[in-house]
Structure 1
Amino acid sequence: MGDVAMTVPVLSVLAQTYPNVKITVLSRPFFKPFFEEIPNLDFLEADVYGEHRGFGLVKLANEAKDLGIDAVADLHNVIRSKIITKYLKFKGIKTATIDKGRAEKKALIAAKGENISQLKSTHQRYADVFEKLGFTIDLKQFTPPPQKRLGPKLNGLIGVEPKKIIGIAPFAAHQSKMYPLSLMAEVIRKLDESDKYRIFLFGGGKKEIELLKKLENPFANVTNVAGKLTFEEELALISNLDLMLSMDSGNGHLAAMYGVPVVTLWGVTHPFAGFVPFNQPEKNQLMADREKYPLIPTSIYGNKFPTGYEEVMKTISPAIVLKKINQVLM
């Protein structure tokens, strides 16, 4: 989800820079709402577990070809997208594929924390694909879309009091990228006590929903929205946030595509790998203590780390998180 969300600002700038170019996004139906605000953009649904499974990818490629496309931008560079791209290239259509910088990222991890430097952002890697096709874009020209309209249900959740709205997404794909819930509860307690904020908790899946319910219960200004909203409603709520507090995970990218300030907590991964949410400053990246844990980053996605690095997130104190939130919302 995060990878798809990161394409949104790039495609928005592409549409703005080249208003006569028609864009068709090929992806899973679930992601279609991401692209509703981009003009002159159509969506081609990929049923990768049904109709377009296996040799069905050729059918999908032909569906794309029948739309009259002139070029293919492969922003994913995985087996499925490679098959479609190569097939369409064979049919005479111009193609370009993202360079994910795998060798550079491997070197970043192999450095074991010594003399590491910033790699190209994923957003710029996407932009480079379009440049290969002859469409140069400047990501600094991005204009966030307007906030989505809130229906009665969401307005009821937010209430009428003039409070700043904070989203908190405390989960990540790997435990090593997740802030301990006991510390997150302390952050939430302090925010709740101030009575200045409405706080919404985001997550998904049965286990996460149950944990968020427990996190929500003691606090008057906190609402768990996991499992209670449609995906479109979640996006509308996110677009109206004043700040998102997220792990190195998809929700930060969802907020960033609407221009919402994002404070990201980093565990064994690192902003230098290129996955910082779009247009978010370095000062909003809160990292684990690299003096205590000098091997960070230990992996690109957080799935690998040495013994003793399981709880690196504990070195980011609730006080540091609260200070940053208050600075951003001043």
Structure 2
Amino acid sequence: MFSIEKFISYLNLLKKILNLFCKLKTIFFLLKLILKILKKIDNILVIRLSSMGDVILTTSFIRQLRNKFTDTRIDFITSKSFAEIYKFNPNINTLWEYDKQFKLNEIAELKNHIKMDLKGRRYDYVIDLQKNLRSKILRSGLGDKYLLINKLRLNKLSLVYFKKPILKKIIPIPELYRLTANPLLVDDDGEGLEIWLKSDPKYYFTPKNSDSKKMKIAVAPGAYHFTKRWQKEKYLELIKNLKNNFNAEIILIGGLQDKEVTDWLKSQIDFEYEDFSDSTSILKTTEAIDNSDLLISNDTGVIHIAAARKVPVLAIFGSTVKEFGFLPFRTKYKIVEKGVSCRPCTHYGLDKCPRGHFDCMSKITVDDVLKAFSNFVETELEF
């Protein structure tokens, strides 16, 4: 006779069988995943097209990828404007250059060149660290498997519109790049960014010790977006203070996009300085920064050049905030900023202040920067 006790015992048995099935399914899934990982990976393509700072921030991930896959072909696609960053980098096999002016037929031609170079094969993995329409068109048909970056859009939107991050801790962008390759089990080697120069016989991840009795300070007063630029008049006053009160040697840094600011500064400076403004070469700018003891800059790609050469950074942040993850990576740095309530108003930067007052930069005084500089030198740089 069927009893409630027997029914319950059958249910318990069924539960045990289901639990065992779930465990076996999990074990099978893990074994399948391990077999996929252990399968020899012959070639990997990484895509990051822009901007300069973002491309520099990929360099630690590329090295970590090379550490994991010593014999694998690792190729990189970036914009022609930033290809110089990888010119002497030994961690990649082939550097493919993309032009943002390319039409669809020119993109198809580039992809055909890549396919011919692979002898008709596909990349085992394509890692897209750009993840936009251009990179989607580029990567289509080139890989067997695709790993796409999580751009943390909700966190950015929360910061811009509600002034609060969703994430509990800041994820540096280089770490976000590495996490994109989680299925490949790429380890963090604990090292920073890198830009190789032709003169580098071997790459050292250690800060340089200056032999000069005078501190050499590289100053980069420009930025592509207006809301990232500290006022040029304040930069002039700062430079004069550094020269007169600290006996510093000044190196002026800038690209063609900074010409208006740097030309004005050059017309006002009445003492000797090294001029690396109007530079069209990322590597020339790198050499100039590499020859300095400290970089003072707005929140631009130049701070990542300094980080890549282990030069300390004093960064002036306006409309952007460190929670976006674009910090000088694994080098000594200090940020000068004002906690105004409307900040951040943007993730990238804007052509004008949305509220008209520009308090995020206007409220940062020359004294603020000089105090931060003095404290940084005394406590961190030991110069």
TM > 0.5: yes
Assess, with a 3 A threshold, how the Cα gap between structure 1 residues 251 and 85 changes in structure 2: closer, same or farther: same
**Cα separation, 2, equivalents of 1:149 and 1:64:** 30
Q: Which has the higher contact order (CA 8 A, sep 6+)?
A: 1
Partner of 1:296: 343
**Alignment match, 1:19:** 70
Show the counterpart of 1:157.
none
The 2-side partners of 1:176 and 1:48 are apart by 25
Aligned residues: 310
The equivalences for 1:108-257 within 5 A come to 108-112=159-163, 118-132=169-183, 134-138=184-188, 140-142=190-192, 149=199, 162-194=213-245, 196-205=247-256, 208-216=258-266, 217-227=268-278, 230-257=281-308
Cα distance between partner residues in 2 of 1:163 and 1:129: 43
Aligned twin of 1:321: 369
The one-character-per-residue Cα deviations of 1:238-277 (angstroms, maximum 9, x if unpaired) are: 2232211111111112221222211211112111111112
Specify the alignment match of 2:4 in structure 1: none
Conservation of the 8 A alpha-carbon contact between 2:222 and 2:262:
no
Q: 1:105 aligns with which of 156, 166, 169?
A: 156
1:76 aligned to 2:122?
Answer: no
Deviation at 1:131, TM superposition (A): 2.2
Amino acid at match of 2:132: V
Runs of 5+ in structure 2 lacking a partner?
1-51, 201-210
Counterpart code for 1:70:
D
Rg (Cα) greater in structure? 2
Question: Post-superposition shift, 1:205?
Answer: 2.6
Counterpart of 1:29 (choices 53, 56, 80) is 80
Contact 1:199–1:222 at 8 Å: present in 2 too? yes
Contact (CA 8 Å) 1:15, 1:39: kept in 2 or not? Answer: no
Tell me which moved more, 254-263 or 108-117: 108-117
1:55 aligns with 2:110: no
Query: Does the C-alpha gap of structure 1 residues 114 and 38 become closer, same or farther in structure 2, counting only changes over 3 Å?
Result: closer
The separation in 2 between residues aligned to 1:309 and 1:113, in whole angstroms, is 22
Cα deviation for residue 301 of structure 1 reads 1.5
**Sequence identity of aligned pairs in percent?**
26
Letter in 2 for 1:298: C
Change in 2 beyond 3 A, CA 1:229/1:79: closer
Aligned to 1:154: none
In structure 1, C-alpha distance between the alignment counterparts of 2:261 and 2:218, rounded to whole Å: 16
Q: Residue 75 of structure 2 aligns to a residue in which SS?
A: strand
Counterpart for residue 153 of structure 1: none
**Which consecutive residues of structure 1, in runs of 5 or more, have no partner in the other structure?**
151-159
For 2:167 and 2:358, the matched residues in 1 are separated by: 22
Deviations 1:208-230 (A, max 9, x none): 32432332342424333212674
1:155 maps to: none
Distance in 1, matches of 2:325 and 2:255, equals 25
Structure 1 counterpart of 2:43 = none
CA RMSD in angstroms comes to: 2.8
Aligned-partner SS, 1:140: coil
**Within 2, Cα distance between the matches of 1:59 and 1:115?**
42
Residue by residue over 1:191-221, the C-alpha shift from the partner in whole angstroms, topping out at 9 and shown as x without a partner, is 1113532211222237x32432332342424
Matched to 1:200, the amino acid is I
- Matched with 2:360 is 312
Q: Tell me whether 1:45 sits opposite 2:97 in the alignment.
A: yes
1:10–1:139 Cα contact (<8 Å) kept: no
